[in-house]
Structure 1
Amino acid sequence: MRETPTHPKIIALVPAAGIGARAAIPGKSSLPKQYQVLAGQPMLRHAVSALLTDTRVAEVRVVVAEHDTIVAQALAGLPRTVWRPYGGDTRAHTVLNGLADAALSPGDWVLVHDAARPGLPREALGRLIDACLAADEGGLLALPVADTMKRQTPPTGEARSGRMRIHETVDRNGLWLAQTPQMFRAGQLASALKEALARELEQGLVITDEASAMEAAGFSPLLVHGSGRNVKVTWPEDFAWVESWL
């Protein structure tokens, strides 16, 4: 009897093991950033729900800290969603742990999405999936830089006192602001993250997202036009204006 061929599946992975210290609001809730309530729901639930809008995403796997006691309630009732207590010391470790736990085939696709990007539009997610599948290459959502870019002077006593100065204006031509999801083959991403983490210890390589690990491994990920609504909630003042259009 001939076996039915299997096709690579697409899953989403949301690293949500951090505490979001930069977004903390003095005197307000001490909950980790991903559990702060926006428009009546935890921000993490908004982010996961956005990923579920594309039926090609077979499952959303949320990776949280080992003793997380909030995630079950925050995500209760969402379809195609599981949460796993394998958060690591850094984002890269959390994603790598999540990949190992998912036991995917090397050719399966993984969409890694920030828990703090609750406004991902369905259209932007669809563009990314379409582009990566069509090219059979990994890629990420991103936006061209629109503002004039300035690089500050190296840290000095003035900078530490809150007075910072311009060192130079940076040519914004060809610069993009990286967003998520970032979509890669599971096997390639796991290998790139392991290699990047080793080089981080040995050579000081900086891994800021999955694309940076893939770049270090020799890949050139696709840039797919993202959305201004797909912003990352980073600072306390971000909550109010993101909530205003959720």
Structure 2
Amino acid sequence: MWGRDLPGLMHLTDLLNHVLVYPDLDRVRLSSIEPWDFDPAILPLWNDSRLCRHLHIPLQSGSDEVLKKMGRPLSRDGYLSLIQTIRETIPEAAITTDVITGFPGETEEDFEATLDLIRKIGFAGGHVFTYSPRPGTAAYKMKTTVPKSVAKARNATLRKVFIETGSKYRAQFIGEVCPVLWESSEATGDGLWQLSGLTSNYIRVYAKAERDLWNEITFVRLLKNHPQRQALLGVVETVD
């Protein structure tokens, strides 16, 4: 966590306040942060529209038993309470996460608890990892292993559920006009540019424009789900 090694009890809030002093910064995104490091006292900073409405907060498991074995200090209910607090201040926030499946001793009930919490929270997306033993870790010595075939199947199920919750999250913004930062562009050969970018709340958007808008932020009307990708299709509002 930033600031722990600095004198004067520096806090992440101090860093963000310092960064937001600079008016030329159009967007600031907070990267992955552990749930116990996220102090709700920081939430008023999101009154500044330049702070992206996206937070990546690792969950790892929705089972208290597995969380305890992992040595993670926050319970399932504690995590859920944090997300609810965040959404009270930033209701449109995209919450993404990390989950591990196949951790030693993970039962079917543990796995179902994780699926239940993912659906309950409605994550905008998530990274799924299958546990692999690492020498020197406490888990390496645990003898109750999950069969590889079971862990693989659980991984596939988790990915499917994240796609479902992500699609549901994105759908609520269809019809809205949002600023999009265009991260890539490609000439299509017909006088147009194919654009790909992100909204402040981390929705991937594809659209076409009459000129190259790479590295610009423009307003886009979000039209519908992309037929092949976890993204939305949009149309660029009039650009001068």
TM-score for both structures, normalised by structure 1: 0.24
Ranked by relative contact order (alpha carbons within 8 Å, sequence separation 6 or more), the top structure is 1
Q: Which has the larger radius of gyration?
A: 2
